[in-house]
């Protein structure tokens, strides 16, 4: 009886996980997304800390070779390209042609056990619930780097997640890791683009902006873009207040402290986009 009950429970749990989008299809068939999350995050931690074991022939792992050398070569080109395009108007507080600075490419890590707290607000859970399953909506990570937060959102909640990264070498590496670690591309994928010009999916439910080191004028431009383009009810998580806190189109939900490699109590800000009527009332109230 116990064996039969256990078999029934396992079968029911499997059906429930599939219904919730928490099972993915890898090379070995269906498996829990939590298994995929553990596998890919473990690989990424070894990768960024230079601990990946060499290949059987003694050669360095290709992921390790690609990370630091390609990134270092691409950063100056990205800075020059952004300066040529220009990112902020003088009347908005930017220089004539500000571009991205070297500091915007700073490297750091967020510990994902604490990052989960940023997704715990009821409005955030509701947004992820509306995006439940791979056809129910999209989560977006801007400044995705190797994809930690994209995997944390997509594989923890079964929501289709797109990571957008300015450096194409990081995007290419993220896609290589995703494929090698057997994560389905219809669940987590990566694109190379500038977050300020990338077209947001129409079914976006949640946006995470990894903007801790971004230049202030870039963050202000991003806040304007999200306020202009996102419909009401989209949850926006970000690290810097520039452009967001004074915009009535963003309602503050909470500020969560997360642990990072540079600060054990780093504030992460959670906003939700407001209907135009609510934003207008909030702006009017602020003027009175």
Question: Secondary structure of 120-180 in the HEC alphabet?
Answer: CCHHHHHHHHHCCEEEEEEEEEECCCCCHHHHHHHHHHCEEEEEEECCHHHHHHHHHHHHH
- Does residue 33 lie within any of the structural domains? no
The alpha carbon of 204 is separated from its chain's Cα centroid by a whole number of angstroms, namely 12
- Does residue 24 lie within any of the structural domains? no
Who's near 197: CB < 8 A, 6+ residues apart?
none
Q: What mean pLDDT is predicted for residues 131-138?
A: 68
- Does residue 49 lie within any of the structural domains? no
For the ranges 19-28, 175-184, 207-216, 245-254, which has the lowest average pLDDT? 19-28
Q: What mean pLDDT is predicted for residues 206-226?
A: 96
- Does residue 122 lie within any of the structural domains? yes
Q: 27 or 54: which carries more pLDDT confidence? A: 54
DSSP for 200-243 reads: PPTTEEEEEE--TTS-HHHHHHHHHHHHHHSPTT-EEEES--TT
pTM of the model: 0.83
For the ranges 61-75, 185-199, 267-281, which has the lowest average pLDDT? 267-281
Q: What mean pLDDT is predicted for residues 57-73?
A: 87
Tally the domains of the chain.
1
Q: What mean pLDDT is predicted for residues 277-285?
A: 57
pLDDT of residue 284: 45
> What three-state secondary structure class fits 33?
helix
pLDDT of residue 176: 95
- Does residue 20 lie within any of the structural domains? no
pLDDT of residue 2: 43
Provide the CATH number for the domain around residue 201.
3.40.50.150
Nearest alpha carbon to residue 146 among 256, 27, 49: 49
Question: Which residues on adjacent β-strands are paired with residue 272?
Answer: 235, 251
- Cα 142 to Cα 26: distance, rounded to the nearest angstrom: 26
- Does residue 105 lie within any of the structural domains? yes
- Cα 93 to Cα 3: distance, rounded to the nearest angstrom: 68
- Cα 161 to Cα 121: distance, rounded to the nearest angstrom: 19
- Does residue 70 lie within any of the structural domains? yes
Q: Is the model's pLDDT at 238 over the cut of 50?
A: yes
- Cα 156 to Cα 33: distance, rounded to the nearest angstrom: 7
The pLDDT > 70 percentage for the chain reads 79
For the ranges 131-140, 200-209, 235-244, which has the lowest average pLDDT? 131-140
- Does residue 59 lie within any of the structural domains? no
Where in the sequence is the domain holding 271, given as residue range(s)? Answer: 64-287
Q: Is the model's pLDDT at 140 over the cut of 80?
A: yes
Over residues 82-114, the pLDDT tens digits come to 876 655 444 444 445 578 999 999 999 899 889
pLDDT of residue 277: 65
């Amino acid at each position: 009886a116990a064996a039969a009950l256990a078999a029934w429970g396992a079968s029911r749990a499997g059906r429930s996980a599939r219904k919730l989008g928490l099972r993915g299809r890898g090379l070995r068939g269906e498996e829990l997304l939590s298994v995929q999350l553990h596998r890919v995050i473990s690989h990424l931690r070894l990768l960024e800390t230079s601990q990946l074991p060499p290949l059987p022939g003694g050669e360095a792992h290709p992921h390790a070779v690609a990370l630091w050398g390609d990134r270092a070569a691409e950063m100056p080109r990205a800075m020059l390209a952004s300066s040529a395009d220009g990112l902020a108007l003088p009347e908005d507080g930017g220089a004539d042609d500000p571009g991205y600075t070297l500091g915007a490419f700073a490297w750091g890590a967020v510990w994902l056990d604490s990052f989960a707290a940023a997704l715990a607000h009821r409005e955030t859970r509701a947004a992820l619930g509306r995006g439940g399953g791979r056809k129910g909506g999209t989560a977006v990570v801007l400044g995705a780097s190797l994809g930690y937060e994209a995997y944390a959102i997509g594989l923890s909640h079964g929501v289709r997640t797109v990571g957008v990264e300015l450096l194409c070498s990081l995007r290419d590496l993220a896609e290589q890791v995703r494929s090698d670690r057997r994560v389905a591309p219809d669940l987590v994928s990566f694109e190379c683009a500038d977050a300020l010009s990338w077209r947001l999916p129409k079914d976006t439910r949640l946006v995470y902006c990894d903007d801790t080191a971004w230049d202030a004028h870039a963050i202000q431009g991003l806040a304007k873009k999200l306020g202009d383009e996102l419909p009401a009810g989209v949850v926006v998580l970000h690290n810097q207040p520039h452009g967001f806190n004074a915009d009535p189109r963003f309602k503050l939900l909470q500020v969560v402290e997360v642990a990072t490699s540079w600060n054990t109590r780093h504030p992460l800000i959670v906003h939700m986009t407001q209907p135009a009527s609510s934003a207008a009332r909030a702006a009017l109230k602020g003027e009175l």
